[in-house]
Chains A and B, each alone.
Chain A
Amino acid sequence: MIWNEEIECMSSSEMRKLQSERLKELVNKVYQNVEFYRKKMDEKGVRPSDIRSIDDISKLPFTNKTDLRDNYPFGLFAAPMKEIVRIHASSGTTGKPTTVGYTKKDIENWQEVLARCLIMSGVTPEDIVQVSFGYGLFTGGLGIHYGAENVGCTVVPISAGNTRRQLQLMSDFGSTVLACTPSYALHLADAMSEFGYSLSDMKLKTGVFGAEPFSENMRLELEKKWGIKAFDIYGLSEIMGPGVANDCEFHDGLHIHEDHFFPEVVDPKTKEPLPDGQQGELVFTTLTKEGIPLLRYNTHDLTTLTRERCECGRTLVRMKKITGRSDDMLIIRGVNLFPSQIEQVLLEMGETSAHYMLYVDRENNLDILELKVELDETKMVDTIKDLMSLSRKIEHSLHSALGLSVKVTLVEPKSIPRSEGKAVRVIDNRKI
């Protein structure tokens, strides 16, 4: 089944025509309405009239995550606030979150691309979809929710966490689709026996997993453990949220909804566009976005593009499964984390030195974080109680700033290796 055959199977010449029209309109709009882009384009000496087709896209300036932070909260919005119907936010590189706004039309488009993704994953209106992505400012929960309603599924908006309840409702309601992070899906599978369930209690047939990268091996493991078909849904809040791309039943890359999100792959060093088949940083231009349209937003996800014909019949360009990034961002239980955020919290607290090492591991398929931080001698105390309360205090501050639980261990000064040049702040022992 294909949700929108006209678009998803469009000839490449027609697609480029559509993209060209949309790009021209977009560039005009951001030049008129967003001071940031007007300045950037003026600096580059590009006028909206210079953009005559999608081929001219490389003339446009890039956008980075820092630009969203610098224009926090609504500086990059292209629509007046009365037209913004929803705001989502994710954690930014430092204290401030990255904010995105959606108009009614944006929400409709999001539902559209998500419906395409779900249908691509074999979901039908008869399905009961258990949405175990977090709801709230995070785009995962509400994104999938609206998409599944658009398809006509029965939605169970259970949100993330509470493993016992997840399994109970999955069994009692007979959920047929599970949408969550791949690591949480593995955790749920392994927790079944602990809570007295087995696969025979479940009616699950499809998994739509995303918000964190996972390997093809992990996808196959999920299929085996649950006895389901597992799919990879890709997205990021800056561009839309989940639903930017999804893999079809042939699992040979993820189809990008390129009529809405135009992808380029650029060289991580020179930022020059690379031809299909070469790996680089994935960059998106939001062709139809009204709330916060972005030109050439660098995701820092590493991938390659291919336009070879897919057996499913869709002509949409495909990207390889994401396996790495060109920056130091970590994805922990679906939450974006930059080591600099940790540094910021430590510096603001001023209770320890800012020398730290973050250890990332996976226990029972759940990401765990341990932070080793050097004790500041002037803060040395003579009771265990005060030392413990110092580490609890740091844990608390990290939790409220990052939305993640971190176990804090105090270590001796100068015990964390100093490195020349770029400091190594993270040791990631996860196998994905």
Chain B
Amino acid sequence: MKIRQLSVFVENKTGHLNQILAVLALNNINIIALTLADSIDFGLLRMLVSDPEKAAEALRTENFTVRIHEVLSLELEGVPGSLSRVLNHFSDNGIAIEYIYAFSFGSKSILVMRPDNAEKAIEIIQKYQLKPIYESDLKAQL
């Protein structure tokens, strides 16, 4: 349920995001999921990639600011209301979500989130038998 995510600092400059993506392409890194948060001053790019260590190293070499963080990932049922039901478990137990994104992988609907309290969130996942996603699950189809 814990998977590694790349967080990359992106200055607000035209073409900057593309430079990051070019580095990944050159190093044969596949992007599994990507989300870009924007603020007035800068952007923050979060990605799940095929090889986080290699990607981080390649970006670092090109002077990008990158860190690997652990986030939680769950599989969702592909039916209306499934995300809401999952999140109810967290909010009922006083866990706040810092950020969240979702994507589909093959036939799966996958949720990525960063709770304010990871340990407590894992307890909830186990208690309610939510379906965890591991990094190996995201490699299967590559």
Which residues of chain A are within 8 angstroms of B5 by Cβ–Cβ distance? Answer: 382
Q: How far is the CA of A350 from the CA of B51 in the complex (A)?
A: 31
Q: Are B98 and A383 in contact, with the CB atoms below 8 A?
A: yes
Which residues of chain B have C-beta atoms less than 8 A from A380's C-beta?
A: 7, 9, 65-67
Q: Are A413 and B7 in contact (CB under 8 A)?
A: no
**Given known A382-B44, A382-B67, contact A412–B7 (CB-CB < 8 A):** no
Q: Tell me if A381 counts as interface (CB < 8 A to partner B).
A: yes
In the complex, what's the smallest C-beta–C-beta distance from B23 to chain A, in angstroms?
Answer: 13
Count chain B residues whose beta carbon lies closer than 8 angstroms to a beta carbon of A: 21
Contact B11 A412 (CB under 8 A): yes
Q: By DSSP majority rule, is chain B's interface helix, strand, loop, or mixed?
A: strand
Residue B103 at the chain A interface, CB threshold 8 Å: no
Flag if A412 contacts B64 (CB, 8 Å): yes
Which of A383, A409, A410, A412 sits near B114, CB closer than 8 Å? A383
Q: Evaluate contact between B9 and A387: CB separation under 8 angstroms.
A: yes
Q: Check A388–B39 contact: CB distance below 8 A.
A: yes
- B41 interface residue (CB < 8 Å to A): yes
Name A412's contact: one of B44, B65, B98 (CB within 8 Å). Answer: B65
With A387-B9, A412-B9 as contacts: A381 and B67 at CB distance below 8 Å: yes
User: Which label, helix, strand, loop or mixed, suits the secondary structure of the A interface?
Assistant: mixed
Q: Does A67 contact B (CB under 8 A)?
A: no
Report B-chain residues with C-beta under 8 Å of the C-beta of A383: 44, 98-99, 114
Question: Does B63 interact with chain A (Cβ within 8 Å)?
Answer: yes
The verdict on B131 contacting chain A, using a C-beta distance below 8 Å, is no
Query: Are A377 and B41 in contact (CB-based, < 8 A)?
Result: no
Complex: how many Å from CA A11 to CA B27?
82
In the bound complex, residues from chain A placing their C-beta under 8 Å from that of B65 are: 375, 377, 380, 412-413
| A409/B41 in contact, CB under 8 A | yes
Q: Does A298 contact B (CB under 8 A)?
A: no
Interface size class of A (residues with CB under 8 A): 10 to 19
A431 within 8 A of partner (CB): no
What's the nearest-Cβ distance from chain B to residue A183, in Å?
Answer: 26
Nearest A-chain residue to B6, judged by Cβ: A382
Chain A hits for B105, CB < 8 A: none
Quick check: is A411 within 8 A (CB to CB) of the other chain? yes
**Residues 350-387 of A at the B interface (beta carbon under 8 Å):** 375, 377, 380-385, 387
Contact of B69 with A by CB under 8 A: yes
CB distance from A348 to the nearest CB of B (A): 22
Residues of A within 8 A of B46 (CB): 382
Can you name the residue of chain B whose Cβ is closest to the Cβ of A409?
B41
Residues of A near B69 (CB, < 8 A) are 381-382
Cβ of A391 under 8 Å from chain B: yes
Interface set, chain A 385-403, CB cutoff 8 A to B: 385, 387-388, 391
- Please tell me if A32 contacts chain B, counting CB pairs below 8 Å: no
Q: Is A104 an interface residue (CB 8 A)?
A: no
Task: Determine if A65 is an interface residue (Cβ-Cβ < 8 Å).
Answer: no
- List CB contacts (< 8 Å) of B20-37 with chain A: 37
A410 touches B41 (CB 8 A): yes
Task: Check B114–A382 contact: CB distance below 8 A.
Answer: yes
- A415 contacts the other chain (Cβ, under 8 Å)? yes
- Tell me, in angstroms, the Cα distance from A25 to B37 when the chains sit together: 69
Q: Can you list, as one digit per residue, whether each of A103-140 has a CB less than 8 Å from chain B (1) or not (0)?
A: 00000000000000000000000000000000000000
- From B11, B60, B98, A377 is in contact (CB under 8 Å) with B60
When C-beta atoms are compared, the residue in chain B nearest to A380 turns out to be B67
- B42 proximity list for chain A (CB < 8 A): 387, 409-410
How far is the CB of B106 from the nearest CB of chain A, in Å?
A: 26
A383-B98, A385-B98 known; A411 vs B7 contact (CB < 8 Å): no
A240-285 contacts to B (CB < 8 Å): none
Task: Give the complex CA separation of A361 and B7 in angstroms.
Answer: 33
List residues of chain B with CB within 8 A of the CB of A375. Answer: 9, 65
Residues on B facing A (Cβ under 8 Å): 5, 7, 9, 11, 37, 39, 41-42, 44, 46, 60, 63-67, 69, 71, 98-99, 114
The 4 closest A-B CB pairs, nearest first, are A382-B7, A380-B67, A382-B69, A414-B63
A-B contact pairs, 28 of them (CB 8 A): A375-B9, A377-B60, A377-B66, A377-B67, A380-B7, A380-B65, A380-B67, A381-B7, A381-B67, A382-B5, A382-B46, A382-B71, A382-B99, A383-B44, A384-B44, A385-B98, A387-B9, A388-B39, A391-B41, A409-B41, A410-B41, A410-B42, A412-B11, A412-B63, A412-B64, A412-B65, A413-B65, A414-B63
